[in-house]
Amino acid sequence: MTLAVENVTVVFGHGRRAATVLDDVTLAVPKGTTVGLVGESGSGKSTLAKAMVGLVRPRAGRVLLDGTEISGLRGKRLTAVRRRVQMISQDPYSSLDPRMTVGRALAEAADPRRADVRAHAAAITRGLEAVGLDGDAARRHPHQFSGGQRQRIAIARALVAEPEVIVADEITSALDCSVQAEVLNLLADLRARLDLTMLFISHDLAVVRHVSDAVAVMHHGRLVEHGDRDRIYRAPADPYTRRLLASAPSLPKEAS
Ligand SMILES: Nc1ncnc2c1ncn2[C@@H]1O[C@H](COP(=O)(O)OP(=O)(O)O)[C@@H](O)[C@H]1O
Ligand SMILES: [Mg+2]
């Protein structure tokens, strides 16, 4: 399933306080591929993610899922689309309700209208096992897990909804290096196995190079460059992309 935005503009606030956070953004994430979205903090990456999953309404432009516009959907039809496009956010601790068992959080993802742990027991176990956690995890609460495990739970929760598209927003940014690598490997494995389409957002250029087929570069709410991953890292065309790559501490310099 291909997820795309066309000429999307997002404005927050009104009147003299209005701020254009996304300015005429056009980007496609073709089925089965991963597009990495990079850009400094505040450039609008999370806002684009939210617009793509229907959590932020664009002032102008269209969000398309396999060619169907989702920006105008409401009620049941919006709910159905939201299931197929799952967002995993940067802070699993705030996105997982601390009072809810992991099982219940996953049951809710499986069926928002009837979040019944027993009814969805098999799906919950499958989801947890897919991310390398024991089925017993379902009975526990988020605070009983490490940061890396919570991020796995957030991924499991997204998977239980059987999505075709995943929007992953800085999902490894809060993790230690070794845990980060584990989560990335897990994600790569799931992506291949489930043929997922993914928008992978990170300010870490090395991580994005590792996971993406194509890369899009955001600067002050605009996409300044978008193209094949290797081409962008080898020969960035836009001056901003060049600055961003040159200043990335984590990026091994190309031997040339
Ligand atoms: N709900 C909101 N209301 C007003 N401004 C917002 C809101 N969400 C984000 N912003 C502003 O939009 C800009 C882009 O934010 P964001 O999309 O979170 O960037 P990034 O994810 O790249 O760090 C920032 O200036 C931020 O302060
Ligand atoms: Mg963000």
What CATH number should be reported for the domain whose range is 3-251?
Answer: 3.40.50.300
User: Using a 6 Å cutoff on CB, does residue 41 contact ligand 1?
Assistant: yes
Q: How far is the CA of 11 from the centre of ligand 2 (A)?
A: 16
Q: What is the pLDDT of residue 255?
A: 46
Q: Which ligand is nearest to the CA of 55?
A: 1
pTM for the whole structure? 0.92
- What residue segments make up the domains of the chain, in order of their start? 3-251
List, for residues 59-85, the tens digit of each pLDDT value. Answer: 999 999 998 898 777 888 887 887 899
238 burial type by CB count under 10 A (0-12 exposed, 13-18 middle, 19+ buried):
middle
CA 66, CA 238: separation in Å to the nearest integer?
Answer: 29
Q: Which ligand is nearest to the CA of 218?
A: 1
Q: How far is the CA of 179 from the centre of ligand 1 (A)?
A: 27
CA 219, CA 223: separation in Å to the nearest integer?
Answer: 6
List, for residues 121-171, the tens digit of each pLDDT value. Answer: 999 999 999 999 999 999 999 999 998 899 999 999 999 999 999 999 999
Atom of ligand 1 nearest to the CA of 56: 1
Q: Which ligand is nearest to the CA of 21?
A: 1
Residue among 22, 37, 46 whose CB has most ligand 1 atoms within 8 A, to mutate: 46
pLDDT category at 202 given cuts 50, 70, 90 is very high
Of the candidate ranges 106-115, 123-132, 219-228, the one whose mean pLDDT is the lowest: 106-115
pLDDT category at 92 given cuts 50, 70, 90 is low
Q: Which two tokens stand for residue 10?
A: 């997002």
